[in-house]
Each structure stands twice: as structure tokens, then as C-alpha cells.
């Protein structure tokens, strides 16, 4: 457990260097990669907090009231992440929600890099116009191909168990970067006064149980019978045991899952009759969160399978998702 006092709050860079000392043989490449993501996050945050003023609201391609071409904030976020990771020394290529194919950096420096990164640059971006929190989600993998040559598609189609790190950035009332390795999950809050992410939530653990469930009730009659039974059983229990459960649903995955990670609870995005595979993407939405929740003591399944065990076949494939407190995920799984 890291102990800090107010004058020595640890920055993200100091924290990753501190972690490095625990692994004498580490090259520092992962620390550099996390610093690169942190840099991109600061730039995205600077645009997100004044979205109404920098011509990113409304539909891309239109001109805003200032006569500027509207460029969707998720496009800007995508460009910032690619630029930061391409310029760094740790990433051989990226897979992004914004790009049909993976982007192999294929230059001498990048080809020597050990890692590839999968990310959703700005998940929930449709919420930007309503000033609702949005987020960046990322997962880091060691290449399966040998450094020295360009990365290949195979480097990106690995099961989530092979992530070496994962995390998210929440652009909310404050901007937080939460990332985890197998050693633990830690949260950093951006201090705009000094432009640094500062350790604010050390050693995050997900409560083993919770009283909040999070689902889009609008699709209720589209869900599998087991999901409907679980929800109605909760509602019946609440009728005779008031306030035992509450429902919270932002409609922005990073916001809903950040709350679930810190406070406990269950987030459900099941498959439906129309879309049995669900809506959320396996590689750069579900896998990073599944990794974080499992390291923090939670669980994440697709219903039949542990999310992290799913062998991907396509970059943008989707999966149903049940994620949160271990006891709640276990309970809902008994209904499926
Ligand atoms: P629905 C946002 O569009 C998103 O991808 C996630 O951030 C969010 O959890 C989900 O979709 C919300 O989907 O169908 O409930 O609007």
C-alpha cells in the first residue's frame, strides 16, 4: 500500500517509475507507453472540457456557429492517441474503434517495440453534445511476433488474458486515468493546475457485492428470459425490502463501469433478439474492463464464457457483457 501525504502526492510518471523499481529487469517500455497514453489523455481532456467552444459539437462535416468545420471529438481523440503512441518508443501499432483495420506503425523505431495497443478513443461520444461524461478505453498486449519486424494482425487478435495492462480515462467532473497491471489497479486524477495525473485512488478493489444494477431497460422485452427473470426478481425483492437495490444507467460505458468498479454493483449489456451478439466490442471495450475488474476482485462474463478467455477472430467483434461485483455476476450467471 502506497502511503502519501498531501505535499508528496505521486504523479503518474513517478508512480510508474516507482513500479519499475520493483522489476529490476524491466526495460521501462510499459512505463513509457502509459506516459504516452497519459499525454494523449491530457490533450483530449483539454478539448472535451470545452467541447462547446472548439467546434466539435454537432455532426462532423457541418459548419458550426463560428463557421468552423465540425470535427467529432472522437476523431480528434483518435488522432491524439495515434500521434502519442507513434511518437513513443513502446508501441508497434494500434487497433482503434475508429479504424476498420489495425494501424501498423512500420518504421524502424516502432518495429523494435514490444507492445501493441487496442483502444476506443472516445467511447460514448454521442453523449458529448449533452455534456455527459465520456471516456477512453485501452488494452495493452505484448506482441506475439518478434520485435524487429512490423507487427501483424495476429498481434491484435489475442485473448484478453494476455493483456499486460489495461485502463480507461473518464472525462467527467474531473478527468481520471485508471489503469491496472497484474499487480493492481490505481486511479489518477488530473490536476489542471500542474497538468499532471496524480495518484488519488491507490489499490482500487471492486466490492464483492453491491446494490446497484445498470442496464438499458428500454430493451427489456428484447432480452433473454433469464435476464428478464433476474430483473423482475430484483424488483420484487425491492417491493418487500425497499431500497435493497437501485438502478443507475448513464448510457456511457466508462461512467457506468467506473461507478461499478468503485462502489460495486452489476452492469449488464446482454444480447437481444435483434442483436444476440450484443452491442459492446470485445477487444477495446469489454476486454480492458474485464481485466481491470478481475485484478480488482470482480468478474466479467459474456454469459456462457469468461470475457478474458474469448479467442477473438475479428477486430470489431461484439459480445454480451455481465460485469461487476463477484457475487452479483455469479448470481446473474445462475439465471442465464
Ligand atoms: P444503449 C455508447 O454509445 C455505448 O457504446 C457505451 O458507452 C454504452 O454503455 C452503450 O453504448 C449504451 O448503449 O443501447 O443503452 O444506448
The whole-number pLDDT of residue 288 equals 98
Task: Say yes or no to pLDDT of 144 above 60.
Answer: yes
- Does residue 5 carry a pLDDT above 90? no
ipTM of the complex: 0.96
DSSP lists the bridge partners of residue 271 as none
Distance CA 289, CA 166 (A): 7
Homologous superfamily, domain 12-203: Fructose-1,6-Bisphosphatase, subunit A, domain 1 (3.30.540.10)
Q: At CA 190, angle to CA 90 and CA 6, rounded to 5?
A: 115
Q: Please give the pLDDT value at position 298.
A: 98
pLDDT for position 58: 57
pLDDT at 279 over 90: yes
Q: How far is CA 262 from the centre of its chain?
A: 14
279 is in an annotated binding site: yes
- Residue 231 CA to ligand 1 centre (angstroms): 19
Ligand 1 centre and the CA of 73: distance in Å? 17
- Residue 60, pLDDT score: 65
Tens of pLDDT, residue by residue over 214-249, are 999 999 999 999 999 999 999 999 999 998 999 999
Confidence of residue 166 (pLDDT cuts 50, 70, 90): very high
Q: Would you say residue 62 has pLDDT above 80? A: no
Average pLDDT rounded to a whole number, residues 142-166 = 96
Nearest CA to ligand 1 atom 5: 124
Residue 126 Cα: closest atom of ligand 1? 3
pLDDT at 311 over 90: yes
Question: Distance of alpha carbon 292 from its chain centroid, rounded?
Answer: 9
Given this model, what pLDDT does residue 17 score? 86
165-169, 213-217, 239-243, 280-284, range with the lowest pLDDT: 239-243
Top CATH class, 212-334? alpha beta
Residue of minimum CA distance from atom 4 in ligand 1? 124
- Ligand 1 centroid from CA 291, angstroms: 20
Give the pairing of strands 91-96 and 115-123.
Answer: parallel
In a 3-state reduction of DSSP, which class is residue 21? coil
3-state secondary structure of 207: coil
- Is residue 4's pLDDT more than 60? no
Domain residue ranges in the chain: 12-203, 212-334
CA distance 98 to 272: 24
Average pLDDT value over all residues in the chain: 92
Provide, for the chain, the percentages of residues in helix, strand and coil under a 3-state DSSP scheme, each rounded to the nearest 5. Answer: 35, 25, 40
Q: Which of 128, 220, 252 to mutate to test the pocket of ligand 1 (most atoms within 8 A of CB)?
A: 252
> How many Cβ atoms sit within 10 Å of the Cβ of residue 71?
16
CA distance 38 to 189: 11
Residue 125: the pLDDT is 78
Amino acid at each position: 500500500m502506497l502511503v502519501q501525504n498531501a505535499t508528496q502526492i505521486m504523479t503518474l510518471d513517478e508512480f510508474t517509475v516507482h513500479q519499475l523499481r520493483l522489476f529490476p529487469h524491466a526495460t521501462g517500455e510499459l512505463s513509457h507507453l502509459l506516459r504516452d497514453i497519459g499525454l494523449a489523455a491530457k490533450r483530449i481532456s483539454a478539448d472535451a472540457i470545452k467541447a462547446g467552444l472548439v467546434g466539435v459539437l454537432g455532426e462532423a462535416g457541418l459548419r458550426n456557429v463560428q463557421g468552423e468545420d465540425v470535427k467529432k471529438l472522437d476523431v480528434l481523440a483518435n488522432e491524439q492517441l495515434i500521434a502519442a503512441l507513434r511518437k513513443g518508443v513502446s508501441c508497434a501499432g494500434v487497433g482503434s474503434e475508429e479504424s476498420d483495420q489495425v494501424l501498423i506503425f512500420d518504421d524502424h523505431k516502432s518495429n523494435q517495440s514490444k507492445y501493441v495497443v487496442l483502444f476506443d478513443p472516445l467511447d460514448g461520444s454521442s453523449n458529448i453534445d449533452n455534456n455527459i461524461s465520456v471516456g477512453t478505453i485501452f488494452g495493452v498486449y505484448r506482441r506475439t511476433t518478434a520485435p524487429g519486424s512490423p507487427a501483424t494482425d495476429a498481434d491484435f487478435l489475442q485473448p484478453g488474458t494476455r493483456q499486460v495492462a489495461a485502463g480507461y480515462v473518464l472525462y467527467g467532473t474531473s478527468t481520471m486515468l485508471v489503469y491496472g497491471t497484474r499487480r493492481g489497479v490505481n486511479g489518477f486524477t488530473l490536476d489542471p493546475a500542474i497538468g499532471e495525473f496524480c495518484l488519488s485512488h491507490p489499490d482500487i478493489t471492486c466490492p464483492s457485492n453491491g446494490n446497484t444494477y445498470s442496464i438499458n431497460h428500454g430493451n427489456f422485452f428484447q432480452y433473454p428470459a433469464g435476464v428478464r427473470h433476474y430483473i423482475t426478481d430484483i424488483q420484487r425483492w425491492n417491493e418487500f425490502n425497499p431500497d435493497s437495490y437501485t438502478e443507475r444507467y448513464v448510457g456511457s460505458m466508462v461512467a457506468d463501469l467506473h461507478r461499478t468498479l468503485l462502489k460495486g454493483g452489476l452492469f449488464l449489456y446482454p444480447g437481444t433478439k435483434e442483436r444476440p451478439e450484443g452491442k459492446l466490442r470485445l477487444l477495446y471495450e469489454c476486454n480492458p474492463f474485464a481485466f481491470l475488474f478481475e485484478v480488482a476482485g470482480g468478474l466479467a462474463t459474456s454469459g456462457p464464457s469468461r470475457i478474458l478467455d474469448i479467442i477473438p477472430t475479428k477486430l470489431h467483434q461484439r459480445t454480451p457483457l455481465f460485469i461487476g461485483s463477484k457475487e452479483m455476476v455469479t448470481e446473474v450467471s445462475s439465471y442465464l
